[in-house]
């Protein structure tokens, strides 16, 4: 069991996701340019047409770590995230770089599930890093269309602990309310705020403690072995749904629109980590 003291010593990680053009890079640029006193290491999984700073991040390099003037660290990684996190840990322990937390910017087409899985399936990563939250940015102008056409966008909303809606000024109030209602229906537990050109309060983005695997650890091992129609869309949030279950196979599912589902299952039976890995592997393969 992870103690409070150990959690305090772990490096918190925020996953920033959102579809192409939603405004992830704009928000990151703001985080990296302001004097907020936070030493943030930003990991970009892949170069895009608008990287954080094309002059700082050399695209020919497989890995580039740049320390910025405000104490932040910009790290561009191509390839395995697990390896990147391990290398950052080693550099931090050696005193080569200094950071207090990590923000990971996923590619626009990414399903956040595999990224989240990294922090629970590797012992070394799980002991050093703490997944704090998933922040999803939704483009108000194209959000409804994107959610209609892209399953990855639905998963990005479903995994979110906080949702930021950008480009609200480009839509009518009715259009915004329709999008907001749909997002709430898909993920009623994530607070929704608007953001304009990356102007978000850093206190609303960091130290949320929204992502928790405790509910998954309480799942009955036999249930994980079953082929369940919602398995591809369930995720390991502890959003305190308030539904308690015994170890019998009685399930309560909160079905949301757009094929996003959530469940809480509590059991007194022994936990089988191999079954959990099999279950999470099913999420990754969708």
pTM assigned to the model: 0.68
User: In 96-147, at which residue ranges do the beta strands (DSSP E only) sit?
Assistant: 101-105, 129-139
Instruction: Name the pairing type of β-strands 253-255 and 261-263.
Output: antiparallel
**Which tokens sit at 229?**
């129609």
Arithmetic mean of pLDDT over the chain: 72
pLDDT for 178 equals 97
The C-alpha atoms of residue 75 and residue 208 are separated, in whole angstroms, by 23
pLDDT at res. 191: 92
Q: Are residues 197 and 225 in the same domain?
A: no
Q: Which distant-in-sequence residues (6+ apart) come within 8 Å of 167 by Cβ?
A: 23, 139, 140, 141
| C-beta neighbour count of 122 within 10 angstroms | 15
Q: Cα separation of 258 and 178, whole Å?
A: 14
pLDDT at 227 over 70: no
One domain, residues 158 and 244 = no
Q: What is the mean pLDDT of residues 135-161?
A: 91
Could you give the CA distance from residue 43 to residue 85 in angstroms, rounded to a whole number? 9
Tokens representing residue 134 in the block:
């998933």
* 73 or 250: which leads in pLDDT: 73
209 inside domain: no
Q: Could you tell me the end-to-end alpha-carbon distance of the chain, in angstroms, rounded to an integer?
A: 31
Please indicate, yes or no, whether residues 66 and 177 belong to a single structural domain of this protein.
yes
- Higher-confidence residue: 138 or 200? 138
Domain boundary among 153, 181, 204: 204
Percent of the chain with pLDDT over 90: 26
Domain interval for residue 66: 4-204
Q: Answer whether residue 73 shows pLDDT above 90.
A: no
Number of domains into which the chain is organized: 2
Average pLDDT on 22-41 reads 81
Statement: residue 277 has pLDDT above 80: no
Query: Residues 276, 177: one domain?
Result: no
Q: Which of 204, 224, 241 is the last residue of a domain?
A: 204
- Among 172, 204, 236, residue at a domain's last position: 204
Mean pLDDT for 6-25 is: 86
Residue 272 has pLDDT above 90, yes or no: no
Shared-domain flag, residues 133 and 60: yes
Considering the domain architecture, whether residues 34 and 68 belong to the same structural domain is answered as yes
Between 171 and 259, name the one with better pLDDT: 171
What was the pLDDT predicted at 218? 38
Q: Which residue has the higher pLDDT, 210 or 261?
A: 210
Q: Is residue 257 scored above 70 in pLDDT?
A: no
Confidence of residue 83 (pLDDT cuts 50, 70, 90): confident
**Looking at residue 237, what is its pLDDT?**
41
Helix (H) or strand (E) holding 282, with range, is helix 273-284
- Whether residue 91 is contained in a domain is answered as yes
Check whether residue 146 and residue 8 sit in a common domain: yes
pLDDT greater than 60 at residue 86: yes
Q: Are residues 131 and 263 in the same domain?
A: no
Contact in structure between 162 and 204 (CB atoms under 8 Å): yes
Q: Name the phi and psi angles at 110, rounded to 5.
A: -80, 140
């Amino acid at each position: 069991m992870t103690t409070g003291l150990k959690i305090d010593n772990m490096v918190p990680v925020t996953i920033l996701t959102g579809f192409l053009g939603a405004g992830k890079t704009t928000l990151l640029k703001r985080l990296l340019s302001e004097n907020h006193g936070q030493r943030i290491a930003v990991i970009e999984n892949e170069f895009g047409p608008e990287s954080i700073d094309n002059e700082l991040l050399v695209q020919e390099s497989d890995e580039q770590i740049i320390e910025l003037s405000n104490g932040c660290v910009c790290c561009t990684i191509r390839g395995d995230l697990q390896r990147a996190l391990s290398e950052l840990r080693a550099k931090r322990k050696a005193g080569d770089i200094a950071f207090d937390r990590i923000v990971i910017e996923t590619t626009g087409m990414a399903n956040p599930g595999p990224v989240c899985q990294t922090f629970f399936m590797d012992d070394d990563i799980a002991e050093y890093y703490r997944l704090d939250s998933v922040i999803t940015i939704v483009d108000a102008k194209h959000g409804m269309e994107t959610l209609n056409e892209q399953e990855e966008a639905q998963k990005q909303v479903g995994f979110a602990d906080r949702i930021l809606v950008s480009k609200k000024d480009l839509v009518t109030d009715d259009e915004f309310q329709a999008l907001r209602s749909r997002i709430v229906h898909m993920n009623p537990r994530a607070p929704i705020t608007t953001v304009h050109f990356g102007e978000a309060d850093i206190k609303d983005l960091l130290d949320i403690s929204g992502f928790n695997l405790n509910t998954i650890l309480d799942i009955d091992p036999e249930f994980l072995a079953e082929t369940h129609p919602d398995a591809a869309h369930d995720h390991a949030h502890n959003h305190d749904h308030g539904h308690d279950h015994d170890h019998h196979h009685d399930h309560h599912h909160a079905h949301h629109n757009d094929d996003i589902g959530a469940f809480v299952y509590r059991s007194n039976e022994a936990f089988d980590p191999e079954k959990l890995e099999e279950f999470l592997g099913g999420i990754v393969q969708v």
